[in-house]
Amino acid sequence: MCLLSLLRRYDKCTDCTCKQPDGCTAVCEHRAWFEDGYCDDGNNNCGCGWDGGDCCSLDANYNFCTDCECLNPKFGSYYYDTGS
């Protein structure tokens, strides 16, 4: 199930699959962690809406990620140093 289908119902369609842009095949590793204020590497991909921006916020919590990178091309890129 793609992120958009979590937000909408498709009662009247015949092919109700989510088509990701640019051939994206990634999905949320943990849907419940989407846009929860924590950067989650497994959700930080095009198919999961870049974790709802959680990895691109200077105010987000980076305690549970390893890469902790802002990968969303609309935000540019920066790296949060986890100190490890």
For the stretch 36-62, pLDDT in tens is 999 999 999 999 999 999 999 878 899
Q: Is the pTM of this model over 0.85?
A: no
Which residue ranges make up each domain of the chain?
Answer: 25-79
How high is the pLDDT of residue 39? 96
CB 79 within 8 A of CB 68: yes
68 sits in the region (left: phi over 0; alpha: psi -120 to 50; else beta) called left
Residue 79 has pLDDT above 50, yes or no: no
